[in-house]
Amino acid sequence: MSIIKNFRNPWEDDNWVLQTDVLDTSVLDTDVLNTSVLSQNNDIQFLSPPSPRFFPLSRVESVRSLTWEEYLTKTIKGNEKTLDDKIKLRNKRLAETTDWDKNNLEIKTAKENLAKRWELYQIKLYGKLLDYRTIYDFTGEPVLDFDEIFKESNDLVDKDLEDIAKLSSRYSSVKAEVLNSHKAYISLRNSVKIHLEEKYQFKRFDDYYENDENLKSILSAIKGVTFSPAEIKAVNAQETGDFTITTIDGLKNKTKGIINNKTVNPTYKGLGQHGTGARDEGIKWAKEKGIIIPSDPDPRFTPQTAIYLTAAYFGYLVEKQLLKRLPKPIPSGVELKKLVFASYNWTHNKVILKVNDLGNKGKPYTWDDIKNVSPAETRIYIERITLRLTLKG
């Protein structure tokens, strides 16, 4: 059996239609995790944890952009509140003129229109998104017609301007607040535009994750645990602010959606934010598997090869470090993956040291057992990767 949750969200679905996803992770087959590998590696002792052995979101296209979600809750909702406040203020100024020009039908009508016009502006601003069908050009890039998307809400501004033109100079405070509300609307409209663009920008590398045969080969070569392309994407997303930090190599040509000019450590490069040591270990591990990741030009600088490098470095961490040096019984599935994520961020030596410090001597352990002695950065790192792979709700 499985539990399917249906939900409708115009901000998240490509064509604004019904989207489904598996929520109940207890129904997932916990016996298919690389069983052939485990049977071939009898010298490795694994512990099967009680928690699910898979992250709920396994499709590349379903990986969540936390930057995109936070932009909605902070920037867009903040701009919406500002506009609401400006509309209230303009209505307050209009209310102060109730007794003015009562016998002038043109002015009276203009004031009534100004007071009521923005009551349901959200329907005008967001309603088009519910029915909008994205068109793609020959390169697969979405062509977003923002003139069409914002036509009805832009009309509110144009009609306002027509009405305030009918007011005399004594209404200067009303006119000023109407214009201020327009500035707030433009800020909100621009943030909606950026948010919609980012929806597609976050998916611009999905073909590399989903369909690249080299990546599939690298992931299938890792013994002891099965990583999905979605999990590699989630790690790269964590390293790059969901592919928005344009000071990172491979992202510098980003011109649409959310742009983050954050200064990053120049020692680490590319989508995987690898140093030269991690780069070389990943290349070496892949070569031992018969997979060539060219070292020249530096694979960190190109998104596609940086993705290969992320997966290959996972292979190195799992096979050359964790499975050889962690005390038995070694966690499996999600719990082993969390130790890999921690090693990626905090270094494998520190993770192994902290596990050994537990002194469990044959007793089960997980990431949670060393979480409280890890840096806050690493705890947040793993939490946010996990969130990207977990259905929102």
The two three-digit tokens of residue 117, written as one number: 């016009």
* Helix orientation angle between 333-346 and 348-357, rounded to the nearest 10 degrees: 120
**Rounded Cα gap, residues 12 and 289, in angstroms:** 38
Residue 133 predicted with pLDDT over 90: no
pLDDT at 210: 97
Looking at 117-202, list the stretches that DSSP marks H as alpha helix, in order from N- to C-terminal side. Answer: 121-131, 146-149, 151-164, 172-201
pLDDT in tens, 62-78: 999 999 999 999 999 99
Residue 195: predicted pLDDT: 96
Average pLDDT of the residues in 349-370: 95
Residue 158, pLDDT > 90, answer: yes
**How much is the pTM?**
0.85
Contact 368, 339 (CB under 8 A): no
Taking only the tens place, the pLDDT of each residue in 241-271 is 999 999 999 999 999 999 999 999 999 999 9
Q: CA torsion angle for 336, 342, 347, 348 (degrees, to 10)? A: -10
Please tell me the predicted confidence (pLDDT) of residue 259: 98
Beta-bridge partner residues of 20: 6
User: In the chain, pLDDT over 70 holds for what percent of residues?
Assistant: 87
d(CA 343, CA 352): 9
User: Which segments of 310-384 are extended strands (E)?
Assistant: 330-331
The least confident of 25-39, 151-165, 193-207 is 25-39
pLDDT per position as a tens digit, 314-356: 999 999 999 999 999 999 999 999 999 999 999 999 999 999 9
Listed residue (226, 235, 222, 227) closest to 319, CA to CA: 222
- Residue 34, pLDDT > 50, answer no
- Nearest-angstrom CA–CA distance, 381 and 247: 20
Share of the chain above pLDDT 90, in %: 80
Instruction: Locate 289 and state its tokens.
Output: 């598997």
CA 35 to chain centroid? 31
Instruction: List pLDDT tens digits, range 277-317.
Output: 999 999 999 999 999 999 999 999 999 999 999 999 999 99
Among 131-145, 189-203, 234-248, 339-353, the minimum mean pLDDT is found in 131-145
pLDDT-derived band at 232, boundaries 50, 70, 90: very high
Q: According to the model, what pLDDT value does residue 375 have? A: 97
Q: Mean pLDDT, the chain, as a whole number?
A: 87
**Structural domains of the chain, ranges and CATH numbers in brackets:** 31-65+206-242+268-388 (1.10.530.10), 67-201 (no CATH)
Give tens-digit pLDDT for 75-124: 999 999 999 999 999 999 999 999 999 999 999 999 999 999 999 999 99
Q: What is the mean pLDDT of residues 217-222?
A: 98
Exposure b/e, 104-117, CB count within 10 A at least 16 = b? eeebeebbeebeeb
Mean pLDDT for the stretch of residues 190-211? 96
Residue range 120-135: mean pLDDT, rounded:
85
pLDDT the model gives residue 53: 56
Q: pLDDT higher for 44 or 194? A: 194
| Token code pair at residue 199 | 């929806």
User: What is the predicted pLDDT for the residue at 392?
Assistant: 86
Name the band, by pLDDT with cuts 50, 70 and 90, for residue 360: confident
Tokens 């016996």 sit on residue:
31
pLDDT for the residue numbered 257:
97
Q: What is residue 148's predicted lDDT score, i.e. its pLDDT?
A: 92
Higher pLDDT, 62 or 141: 62
Distance CA 60, CA 7 (A): 19
The conformation of residue 327, written as its DSSP 8-state character, comes to: P
The pLDDT value recorded for residue 52 is: 54
Instruction: For residues 194-200, give the mean pLDDT.
Output: 95
